[in-house]
Chain A
């Protein structure tokens, strides 16, 4: 019983904390994020399994986590409202070459982040070459270039 509660508790806790930290956290892994991920998993591991070294204990924990994942994705598919709460909706950050500054500030994304994404994904050099930049649900920035005749 305890293994299931531990796994569920940790899953929900991490879900909430990462939600609070925002999409920006998972946007791009720099070395610091990598270290953070390693440390978080190390801290989580102790609380998940405690002193239980048994195969059964590990199996119960893993199965609980997978079941939670299945349940969440099922619920998200059936209740769109829940999907909106858990995953959020995509957000337009650049519209026809114009920055939507308030949105960017509140999402913690700088012009540099958008231009960096534009360079890597589309080979775009300037802001006015961007038609739309969209912060996707998974934290990545999708860039749609302006058509040739416009630029």
Chain B
């Protein structure tokens, strides 16, 4: 007991110690270690994009459009979106990308290429050629340009929009 308290007493020779500050530092270091462990675990689970916590999909009310996307994104890194569309057979489909999508993302790649592209002030409409089954998929690779909470709408013409809320880390 005596020795315990003695070790935590500040010495004055040969140097001036400050054991109170030292003990605070140790406590902060230990809790800091835990903080670092937690960050690694969250990153493994996908809390900072790319993982179980982050990957999700959302469909519109009619079930004709399903968007596969990430809840968490990172600014200036490549982030994928996949649109799966169940349209009518032998009819072209038009997809509208609106909200923050066009203003805050840069589309790196877009597969397949649309037949026609229309734009208005904050949105773009892409028309894809008809398929026999009416099923389509669009693969987008995008890059968020800033950080923050992004709200985008992706809609199939003639159906409800899918609203995506995404958090973008700096």
Residues of chain A at the chain B interface (Cβ within 8 Å): 9, 16-17, 19-20, 22, 50-51, 84-85, 88-92, 95, 100-103, 106-107, 132, 134, 144
> Could you show 28 A-B contacts with beta carbons less than 8 Å apart?
A9-B170, A16-B32, A17-B36, A19-B28, A19-B29, A19-B32, A20-B29, A20-B32, A20-B35, A22-B29, A50-B76, A88-B22, A89-B15, A89-B16, A89-B17, A89-B18, A90-B15, A91-B17, A91-B22, A92-B17, A95-B11, A100-B7, A102-B4, A102-B7, A103-B7, A106-B26, A107-B26, A134-B15
B22 x A134 contact (CB < 8 A): no
Q: Please, how many angstroms separate the alpha-carbon atoms of A17 and B17 in the complex?
A: 24
A22: chain B residues at CB < 8 Å are 29
State how many angstroms separate the Cβ of B67 from the closest Cβ of chain A. 27
Cβ contacts under 8 Å, A17 to chain B = 36
Within the complex, what minimum Cβ distance (angstroms) separates A128 from chain B?
Answer: 18
Q: For chain B, what secondary structure do more than half of its interface residues adopt (helix, strand, loop), or is it mixed?
A: helix
Q: Check A88–B7 contact: CB distance below 8 A.
A: no
B: number of interface residues (CB 8 Å)? 21
Contact A51 B76 (CB under 8 A): yes
Smallest CB separation, A6 vs chain B (Å): 9
Q: Hey, which chain B residues are within 8 Å of A144, CB to CB? A: 14
Least Cβ–Cβ distance between A21 and chain B, in angstroms: 8
State how many angstroms separate the Cβ of A86 from the closest Cβ of chain B.
10
Q: Mark B152-164, 1 if CB is under 8 A from A, else 0.
A: 0000000000000
Q: Are A88 and B21 in contact (CB under 8 A)?
A: yes
A103 to chain B: closest CB distance in Å? 6
B32 surroundings in chain A (CB, below 8 A): 16, 19-20
Q: Which residues of B contact A9 (CB under 8 A)?
A: 170
Q: How far is the CA of A19 from the CA of B33 in the complex (A)?
A: 10
Interface string of B111-149 (1 = CB under 8 A from A): 000000000000000000000000000000000000000
- A85: chain B residues at CB < 8 Å are 21
Interface flags for B73-107 (1: CB within 8 Å of A; 0: not) read 00010000000000000000000000000000000
* B22 contact set on A, CB distance < 8 A: 88-89, 91
User: Closest residue to A101 on the B side, CB-wise?
Assistant: B7
Q: Which of B1-53 contact A (CB under 8 A)?
A: 4, 7-8, 11, 14-18, 21-22, 25-26, 28-29, 32-33, 35-36
